[in-house]
Amino acid sequence: MDAQRNRQALDRWFRAFNAKQFDELAALLADTAHDDVIQEWPQSGERIRGKDNIMAVLENYPGLPQATVSGLRGSEDKWVLTPSWTPLRIVGTGDHYTVEGRVAYPNGEVWNVIDLFDFRDGKVIKITEYFAAPFPAAEWRAKWVERFDPTTHGRSKA
């Protein structure tokens, strides 16, 4: 089943990313003659086209997060947590998956991230990533909002 194969590929992607196993990451990307595998960062207006360019960016990224997968939480098809690059929730079926998570950089900054993965024939053909730095809540809203710990994404620790 493609959905199961794609979901397993996502788990492999994050394990390889955290371990900096670039050969494994490359194996998960579509290998096409037309370089139609794409990674996009809309906030900076960058599009990385082609497997070789995507791998070059990853391999040369200064301060790529250091982490390993620590285990699964919740149902196996929805939650994956790591100490640094932390996918919090994975939702999707078929060829389209959304990963909600956090990324911790070596300088101590922790950002929120949304990854949109598209698959074709069990290989990643497109990744769109949105990054957002945390910011303090505005005091003027305090009487209408409920505060939560963003490191647990509002879930109880039980």
pLDDT of residue 23: 95
How many CB atoms within 10 Å of residue 130? 13
User: Beta strand 38-41 with 46-49: parallel, antiparallel or unpaired?
Assistant: antiparallel
pLDDT of residue 47: 93
CA dist 87 and 81 (Å) reads: 6
Q: 90, 101, 86, 96: which is closest to 125 by C-alpha?
A: 96
Tokens of 36: 């139609």
Contact status, residue 88 vs residue 66, Cβ threshold 8 Å: no
Tokens of 16: 């390889």
Give mean pLDDT, residues 119-131.
89
Give mean pLDDT, residues 132-155.
77
User: Beta strand 46-49 with 86-93: parallel, antiparallel or unpaired?
Assistant: unpaired
Reported as a single tens digit per residue, the pLDDT across 63-78 is: 886 433 333 222 344 4
Q: Predicted confidence band at 86 (pLDDT cuts at 50, 70, 90)?
A: low
Domains in the chain (CATH in brackets) are 2-135 (3.10.450.50)
Give mean pLDDT, residues 5-15.
84
Give mean pLDDT, residues 97-124.
85
Does the pLDDT of residue 107 top 80, yes or no?
yes
